Amino acid sequence: MRAPVPAIAVLTAVLAAAGAAGAQPAHLAPGEAPSGAIEPDPPVIELLTFGIGARIFEKFGHAAICLRYHQPEHPEICFNYGVTNFNAGAVMVWNFLRHEQKFWVEPTRLTAMLAFYQAEDRDIWRQTLPITAEAARAIEAQLWSDIREDHRYYDYDHFFDNCSTRLRDMIDRATGGALSAGGSAPYARTYREIGRRGLADMPLLLVTSDLITGRQLDQHPTVWQAMFHPDILRTEVALRLRAPPELIYRRHGPPFPTRGKTGRLHFLALAVALAVLLFLAYTARRYQTAMLWTWGVALAVVGAVVWAVAIISPIPAVRWNEAVFVVMPIDLALPLLSPGRRQRYAQIRLGVLAAVAALGLVGVFHQPLWAVILAVALPMATIAFDLPHGRQRPE
């Protein structure tokens, strides 16, 4: 899964960081390898899954599928559905947000693929699929068809159409539904929880994802849907096809954490520090304007980003975002309003925040926004009730 978290998904910061990535396993040029049913016996089908890597766009692992032929003149060919132009920069960011980023499949020799991921020091698992000759032929035909120019491209979706789901669907079709059978049961973790595992060492990015990605990620996928993640695909293939994974390369570096700080407490601590400064400014009746501008600009910028992304993107996991009720661009009004109107504005904002918190408590809202709600509520409370002096401001 070479793409950044959209993302599954779709975080702008992640996509921008991924723009520095250009490395891919060396692929075969058109015509460099024979295609189709090139041997009288069907090939052996092997599923490869790769562990997470050090760079941000490697944090969710990857998957590929390979054809192992029987005659030595036919090398084993693997097919990588996670290829795109990672150097496209701002264009790639825009295309991801608009759900228009083109990915495609490239064939590569097994030796080149293994060398690439070993050089990245990432775990590699191989599963030989115990399937019928007919199923192997179906997968072979699909793979060679998919590298044709008119078939090879697709619009990437981190959760619903990626390098793992392409292989999941292919194997399922060839085996008459072996992976989808019984796959409608809910998976134990939500989309957000599955995605957070790979980013456990990036708390700043995690708290950003709380703001940018919406309520769809707090749903529990079905087991079938959860196979968008290479680790879960490997587990389910082992269980349903009786294809135990073989670890053929183990990472030599230290293991990556799968649990860590969410970044929410860091975010809240910064907000508390700024709120204390605002409180002191109100107490001393000095520097109020400076602190109001600090809070107004900070909240407005965060709100503008959240609102802009939600408006621009058609992706449900981004568009339907409960954070739009918490952070708002109009908070820039804080330093511009008269004292009385500013106080009433802050009281209205507190009421909206209380409603969002209540909807979260009763299960109508789902996103983990408690830290953000508190961060916004602290300065609003100081302004709304003039806490240091406990009196209403005159108009």
Specify the 3-state DSSP secondary structure of 20. Answer: coil
Higher model confidence: residue 11 or residue 46? 46
Exposure string of 93-126, with b = 16+ CB inside 10 Å and e = fewer, is bbbbbebebebbbbbbbbeebbebbeebebbbbb
Look at residue 88 and tell me whether its pLDDT is greater than 80: no
Laid out side by side, the sheet with 153-155 consists of 153-155, 102-109, 77-83, 62-68, 44-50, 124-128, 246-249
Instruction: Encode pLDDT of 114-157 as tens digits.
Output: 999 999 999 999 999 999 999 999 999 999 999 988 889 999 98
In tens, the pLDDT along 105-118 reads: 999 999 999 999 99
pLDDT in tens, 161-213: 999 999 999 999 999 999 999 899 999 999 998 988 777 777 777 888 888 99
Residue 150 CB burial class (10 angstroms; 0-12, 13-18, ≥19): exposed
Range from 8-17, 69-78, 332-341 carrying the lowest mean pLDDT: 8-17
- Is the pLDDT score of 394 beyond 70? no
Residue 12 has pLDDT above 50, yes or no: no
Cα four-point dihedral sign 89, 94, 96, 99: negative
Whether the predicted pLDDT of 390 surpasses 60: no
Q: How confident is the model at residue 17 (pLDDT cuts 50, 70, 90)?
A: very low
Q: Is 121 left (phi over 0), alpha (psi -120 to 50) or beta?
A: left
Neighbouring residues of 48: CB distance < 8 A, sequence distance ≥ 6: 63, 64, 65, 66, 78, 113, 124, 125, 126, 127
CA distance 319 to 11: 12
pLDDT at 58: 80
Residue 51 has pLDDT above 80, yes or no: yes
Mean pLDDT of 50-63: 85
What are the phi and psi torsion angles at 186 (to 5°)?
-70, 140
Q: Which residue has the tokens 């407490």?
A: 265
Q: Confirm if 178 and 170 have CB atoms less than 8 A apart.
A: no
Q: Is the pLDDT of residue 30 over 70?
A: no
Q: pTM of this prediction?
A: 0.85
Residue 20 has pLDDT above 60, yes or no: no
Query: By three-state DSSP, how is residue 77 classified?
Result: strand
Residue 72, pLDDT score = 86
> How many Cβ atoms sit within 10 Å of the Cβ of residue 175?
21
Mean pLDDT of 102-106: 91
What residue spans of the chain are helical by DSSP H?
12-18, 90-97, 110-119, 133-146, 163-174, 191-198, 203-212, 223-226, 230-241, 264-284, 288-312, 316-319, 339-361, 370-385
pLDDT tens digits for range 286-305: 888 888 999 999 999 999 99
Q: Encode pLDDT of 255-268 as tens digits.
A: 887 776 677 887 88
Q: With bands split at pLDDT 50, 70 and 90, how would you rate the model's confidence at 5?
A: very low
How far is 309 from 11, CA to CA, in rounded Å? 9
Q: For the chain, what is the mean pLDDT? A: 86
